[in-house]
Every structure is written in C-alpha cells, then in structure tokens.
Amino acid sequence: MKRINYLIFLLGLILLTGCQQDNPDGLYYPFKNHVWKRFNILNFDIPVERSERPYTIVFFARHNGDFPYKSLDFNMIMNTPSGEERIREFQLKIRNANDKFLGKCELEICEVTIVLNKELYISKDGILLIEFENLIPRMETPGLLGVGIRIKQD
C-alpha cells in the first residue's frame, strides 16, 4: 500500500512540475512609493546553467504617468559564474519625440524594455549576478513602479 501511495505522489509531482509555466515577469523589484532612490543599487542573482545556446537578458521597467523624464539612465554590472565582468551604461527610452509614452501601456501603467545582452554564453553553472545603479542625477526618480530582468535561452 505504501508503494502505491508513493507512486501516486511521485506521478502527481511529475505532472505538477511538468505543467508549470515560465514566469513571464522574470525577476522583479517593486519600488516603495513608486520611487527609485538614486543610491539604491539593485542586485539580481540568477541561477544559470552552462549551455552551448546563448542567453538573452532583457531589462524592463514599469512606470506610471508621474515619470517625468524622456529616458531612464542606468548602469549595469554583470558578473558571470566563470568570473567575467561586463559593465555598461544604458539609456532606456520612456517617451518619444512627441512626449508620448513608449512601450506597452495598459490603463495607467506602461512597461518598456531594453536588451542588455543578446548572446550571452555561459561556460560554467552558477549564479549570474547583475547590479543596477540609477544614473538620473536626482535623489529620487518618481513614477517607477519597479524594474526587472527576463532571461531566456535562444
């Protein structure tokens, strides 16, 4: 009887894990009061596996109508499990030349994305560390609900 219960449990576990969908939101960091403070450096730890296929890393930001700037400027530091470090500044466009919000907007929330790395090859299993620093020269950047990372394999 124990064996049958164990098999039923194992079968159920396999079905549950096999039916899970990928999280479309990736890793997300919401901001308290919809404000990213200037010196609030964000860290994302992403488990990755060695692969012959490259990874694509996408940064996304969700904002509301209170976001006052044309772009969100930020710095990224990425450390791969093999010890490689990549540093780069980005300018995520939020508004077009006519001052209209870019990206996908629903109700009063918009989401804009930028590809951080299109072909990242991982040569060693481990944790991909990604750090973001807000480069807007104000103590607080209002109108940001949060930012996040999506990672997928091509």
Domain with 58, as residue range(s), is 23-153
CB 102 within 8 A of CB 112: yes
- Residue for token digits 């590809």? 115
CA 37/CA 135 separation, integer angstroms: 10
Do the domain assignments include residue 125?
Answer: yes
Say which CATH number the domain at 89 has: 2.60.120
Do the domain assignments include residue 114?
Answer: yes
Do the domain assignments include residue 107?
Answer: yes
Tens digits of per-residue pLDDT, 91-113? 999 999 999 999 999 988 999 99
Predicted pLDDT at 27:
93
Q: Is the pLDDT score of 18 beyond 80?
A: no
Predicted pLDDT at 19:
37
Do the domain assignments include residue 27?
Answer: yes
Indicate the pLDDT class of residue 2, thresholds 50, 70 and 90: low
Among the ranges given (14-28, 81-95, 104-118), the one the predictor scored with the smallest mean pLDDT: 14-28
Per the structure, how many domains does the chain have?
1
CB 44 within 8 A of CB 130: yes
Question: What's the residue count for the chain?
Answer: 154
Do the domain assignments include residue 15?
Answer: no
Do the domain assignments include residue 7?
Answer: no
